[in-house]
Structure 1
Amino acid sequence: MRTFGLTLLTLAYPVLVYFGLGHEVEPRWLALLLVFIALMRAAFGRERVWLAAAGGALVLAALSFWGNHAMPLKLYPLLVSATLLCVFSISLVYPPTVIERLARLQEPDLPAAGVAYTRRVTQVWCGFFIVNGSVSLLTALFASDAGWALYNGVISYALMGLLFVGEWLIRKRVKAKAHDA
């Protein structure tokens, strides 16, 4: 339940920051939201990379608090994409991949073809995190607050959902082909 709440808060973060800035809440006070997320991430993160992400979030919050600037707050979605890219990339170097671990929850005896498939899906997710992080950075630097919140709080999640659904549909076809062969 704690991780669900943290995930929900992280998903809502861009919209919360946007509404806070729109209601003239100073960025230094919005930074407290990022401090809370960072402390929760540090408390519940099991892997070092999540502790590093929590540390990065605290640095962004401190920069925003002391300078009273919104830019560090707007860089948090980039930090999330970079962290996920690290997690997925590291799993490519030190298998099993993230996607293979998830697949083995449903199919513990995953065949070699399934392992290869999950490796490819992990690579696709790495590509997604590179593109998503890049667009997130561009919106933080060049878009209005509304444009930044729209991409980071709506569009990026819709794209993730499309990737999930697309992969699920492809997986069904791949499994059916393998079953017929």
Structure 2
Amino acid sequence: MRWALVLALTAAYPLLVFASLGHVEPRTMALLLLVLGLLRMASGSGGKVQARWIVAGALLLAVLTALLNRSLPLKLYPVLVNLAMLAVFAVSLMRGPSIVERLARLTDPHLPPEAIAYTRRVTQIWCGFFLLNGGVALVTALWTSERTWALYNGLISYGLMGLLMGGEWLVRRRVRARMAAS
């Protein structure tokens, strides 16, 4: 249940920060990052190395925000999340099985070699997405208005993620049909 709260707060984070800017001091908003970090630790996801890094990063950003009373560290959280996701997906490619293969095996434990190759390719595409999305998140944090930052990180990036998921689902249906026909 706590993981759902962490997920919801992470998704709503850019909009919460945007709504608070100009009304609440950034150091007060650092509490949100602190809560996210502590909830992530309490949810049991703190055991994995990547999860520990994102918790440490969130706590560092919270401390920097509190000390500097500036919004920039708050706006860097989406960059941190994208870097963490990139690391998780990339490490799974190096160590295997890939994240997408693990997810696919939840519904079909006996994947043929063609499906394993497909899942590796999809994992590579997600790595590219997290790299690009994290780069745009960084650009919006450093060089755009808070409104643009919130629009991209609180809406557009989620829309792009949904498009990627939906597009992959359509491609997967075609690939499965082709594999079944051969």
**Displacement over 3 Å in runs of 4+:** none
Amino acid at match of 2:152: Y
Amino acid at match of 1:95: G
Amino acid at match of 1:168: W
Q: Give the alignment's TM-score, normalised by structure 1.
A: 0.98
Specify the alignment match of 2:116 in structure 1: 115
Specify the alignment match of 2:20 in structure 1: 20
For the pair 1:53 / 2:54, whether they are aligned, the reply is: yes
Partner deviation per Cα, 1:35-74 (whole Å, 9 max, x = no partner): 0001111222141111111000000010000110000000
Q: 1:91-130 counterparts in 2 under 5 A?
A: 91-130=92-131
Distance in structure 2 (CA, Å) of the matches to 1:9 and 1:71: 19
Deviation at 1:169, TM superposition (A): 0.2
RMSD: 0.7
Amino acid at match of 2:13: Y
Q: Give the alignment's TM-score, normalised by structure 2.
A: 0.97
Partner deviation per Cα, 1:68-117 (whole Å, 9 max, x = no partner): 00000000000000000000000000001100000000111111111100
For the pair 1:42 / 2:3, whether they are aligned, the reply is: no
Identity of aligned residues (%): 53
Specify the alignment match of 2:5 in structure 1: 5
Partner deviation per Cα, 1:134-154 (whole Å, 9 max, x = no partner): 000000011111100000000
Aligned length: 180
SS in 1 for 2:70: coil
SS in 1 for 2:97: coil
Amino acid at match of 1:34: L
Distance in structure 1 (CA, Å) of the matches to 2:148 and 2:63: 24
Distance in structure 2 (CA, Å) of the matches to 1:154 and 1:25: 22
Specify the alignment match of 2:63 in structure 1: 62
Amino acid at match of 1:61: A
SS in 1 for 2:137: helix
Q: 1:66-77 counterparts in 2 under 5 A?
A: 66-77=67-78
Q: Give the gaps of 5 or more residues in structure 2.
A: none
